[in-house]
Chains A and B, each alone.
Chain A
């Protein structure tokens, strides 16, 4: 996974590509995480997938999380993986209310979104 400076560089580049897309970053238990604006989640995931040097093309897991009592309360969490570098990156779309969509990022998302809806979690765009 990217180290702390690497994560900050990713956040800076993302914000340069689309201002305000990254709301925060953190490192936890050796894993890097980006907190992003749910309205820009498509752009963020596309940028992470397609940008040279990033290439987080594999979506390992997609799940909804209730971060109560934190605000924004909900998060849709994407566990991304760069297979050649074996680097994992977590992207969290922070949601006060389900409002975003990541339909076009990868074919594998469809079924996971359906499952999120079944489990009654906040499901952006499902």
Chain B
């Protein structure tokens, strides 16, 4: 946290927000001892969970105004995608929200498949769901560890990263990479799961509920954690809806909105799972909702393994999907398709589509405009962190500056997704 100046003038205060605090609630002008102080939190501060700058106006220890300043890690991903063929854009979008890379892939790949009118095989749907839910667990584990760390529970960080690493081991086994796997392809997935993967996932799923029990045992009766989260950062459900907030933040306020249930894509309609919701909408509810979501994700992964259909894991449309390796040495046609796809890429008929998935942070949507060429004319990502960040001001106003850190942690923003 870096101090700018001790006292800001009224003119500066107007820059920070639309409603600078100049008078008390009773309408009296602020005295000298009540002068606002503006500080920068971030952009380089571990508690901002990324490169986020918060301009905070303080009256003593109380936050009177707050403005997030974003853009420090803007990398032009959307614009870059316009210069890549569709299949080469996948690694770009994957790197936006770096904790939910499978969801980034699914949003983009699903949108392209919608434009192509391409139906993917049932096995590919199940494999995608399996990896998406493991990814949700991974993302929530990182959140839980870092959010608890912000409140002083350092051991949680180590425990959560221990289990998160087991998920990365599973990703490495099935995809060859621990992060940014590029596993989802237009038409399905890159490769079938290897021998032993199912056994390892089942072992993980068998152990994970008891791990979550342990996490809850650490936090649920921790007086410091409870006092720091209960009734802190409450934002009413309707206000969250007005702001466009989705995901665990919205569900913690009592709105049971989850795209996996209300508008299921892939094979989500086949699975039995519940949507946890909160009642108050405070930090504690956000914690409870995410922890319960981890339990539900474990259930979905187990069901995906139980019901994993046999068959191909990628579509057999040779105009879109690379031919199998063994065909290249026997089929001239396959060789031509391979050459065309690798050098030029596949063409997508003109049109536009929006496709959304329920990421660990809410609705992750992708809009793609196709002009008939092998490259997208426009790609836009609706990243939930970007929209959810709007709620931070409502969470923090008239609260203590110490709670700002907790509120930000419970918001769970990923700046890579916000800035893109």
Residues of A with Cβ closer than 8 Å to B?
28-31, 57-61, 63, 65-67, 77, 79, 83, 86, 88, 90, 106-108, 110-112, 115, 118-119
Q: Closest approach, in angstroms, between the C-beta of B320 and any C-beta of chain A?
A: 16
CB nearest to A120 among chain B residues: B79
- Does B353 lie at the interface of the complex (its beta carbon under 8 Å from any beta carbon of A)? yes
Q: 10 closest Cβ contacts across the A-B interface? A: A108-B244, A61-B382, A63-B380, A29-B353, A108-B243, A86-B262, A65-B378, A107-B242, A29-B114, A28-B351
Per the bound structure, the CA–CA distance linking A98 and B395 in Å amounts to: 34
Using A29-B115, A118-B71 as known contacts, say yes or no to A111 and B387 having CB atoms under 8 A apart.
yes
Per the bound structure, the CA–CA distance linking A57 and B386 in Å amounts to: 19
Per the bound structure, the CA–CA distance linking A115 and B381 in Å amounts to: 12
Q: Closest approach, in angstroms, between the C-beta of A117 and any C-beta of chain B?
A: 11
- Does B390 lie at the interface of the complex (its beta carbon under 8 Å from any beta carbon of A)? yes
Interfacial chain B residues near A30, Cβ < 8 Å: 114
Per the bound structure, the CA–CA distance linking A63 and B78 in Å amounts to: 11
Per the bound structure, the CA–CA distance linking A88 and B242 in Å amounts to: 17
CB nearest to B363 among chain A residues: A60
Contact partner of A66 among B351, B352, B378, CB < 8 A?
A: B378
Whether A111 lies near B390 (C-beta < 8 A) is yes
Interfacial chain A residues near B88, Cβ < 8 Å: none
23 A–B contacts, CB within 8 A, in A order: A28-B353, A29-B114, A29-B115, A29-B351, A30-B114, A57-B241, A60-B354, A60-B363, A60-B382, A65-B367, A66-B377, A66-B378, A77-B367, A83-B262, A86-B262, A86-B263, A90-B354, A107-B243, A110-B390, A111-B390, A118-B74, A119-B78, A119-B79
Interfacial chain B residues near A77, Cβ < 8 Å: 367
Q: Closest approach, in angstroms, between the C-beta of A95 and any C-beta of chain B?
A: 14
Q: Closest approach, in angstroms, between the C-beta of B94 and any C-beta of chain A?
A: 19
- Does B108 lie at the interface of the complex (its beta carbon under 8 Å from any beta carbon of A)? no
Contact partner of A79 among B74, B117, B367, CB < 8 A?
A: B367
Interfacial chain B residues near A112, Cβ < 8 Å: 387
Interfacial chain A residues near B351, Cβ < 8 Å: 28-29
Per the bound structure, the CA–CA distance linking A8 and B362 in Å amounts to: 31
Interfacial chain B residues near A28, Cβ < 8 Å: 351-353
CB nearest to B244 among chain A residues: A108
Whether A60 lies near B243 (C-beta < 8 A) is no
Per the bound structure, the CA–CA distance linking A115 and B380 in Å amounts to: 11
Whether B390 lies near A107 (C-beta < 8 A) is yes
Interfacial chain B residues near A31, Cβ < 8 Å: 353-354
CB nearest to B350 among chain A residues: A28
- Does B365 lie at the interface of the complex (its beta carbon under 8 Å from any beta carbon of A)? yes
Q: Give the interface SS of chain B, mostly helix, strand, loop or mixed.
A: mixed
Whether B377 lies near A108 (C-beta < 8 A) is no
Whether A111 lies near B242 (C-beta < 8 A) is no
Which of B244, B356, B367 is the most central at the interface, judged by chain A CB atoms within 10 Å of its CB?
B244
Q: Closest approach, in angstroms, between the C-beta of A34 and any C-beta of chain B?
A: 13
- Does B103 lie at the interface of the complex (its beta carbon under 8 Å from any beta carbon of A)? no
- Does B257 lie at the interface of the complex (its beta carbon under 8 Å from any beta carbon of A)? yes
- Does B369 lie at the interface of the complex (its beta carbon under 8 Å from any beta carbon of A)? yes
Other A-B contacts than A79-B365, A79-B367, A119-B78, 20 sampled, CB-CB below 8 A, are: A28-B351, A29-B114, A29-B117, A31-B353, A60-B244, A60-B354, A63-B367, A63-B378, A63-B382, A65-B352, A65-B367, A65-B380, A66-B378, A79-B354, A79-B382, A83-B241, A86-B263, A108-B242, A108-B387, A111-B389
Which of A28, A30, A61 is the most central at the interface, judged by chain B CB atoms within 10 Å of its CB?
A61
Using A86-B262, A119-B78 as known contacts, say yes or no to A59 and B367 having CB atoms under 8 A apart.
no
Whether B354 lies near A61 (C-beta < 8 A) is yes
Interfacial chain B residues near A60, Cβ < 8 Å: 244, 354, 356, 363, 365, 382
Per the bound structure, the CA–CA distance linking A106 and B239 in Å amounts to: 11
Interfacial chain A residues near B79, Cβ < 8 Å: 119
Using A61-B354, A63-B380, A86-B263 as known contacts, say yes or no to A115 and B386 having CB atoms under 8 A apart.
yes
Per the bound structure, the CA–CA distance linking A63 and B368 in Å amounts to: 11
Per the bound structure, the CA–CA distance linking A66 and B353 in Å amounts to: 15
Whether B354 lies near A65 (C-beta < 8 A) is no
Question: Per-position contact with A for B4-29: 1 when CB-CB < 8 Å, else 0?
Answer: 00000000000000000000000000
Using A28-B353, A107-B390 as known contacts, say yes or no to A67 and B380 having CB atoms under 8 A apart.
no
CB nearest to A84 among chain B residues: B262
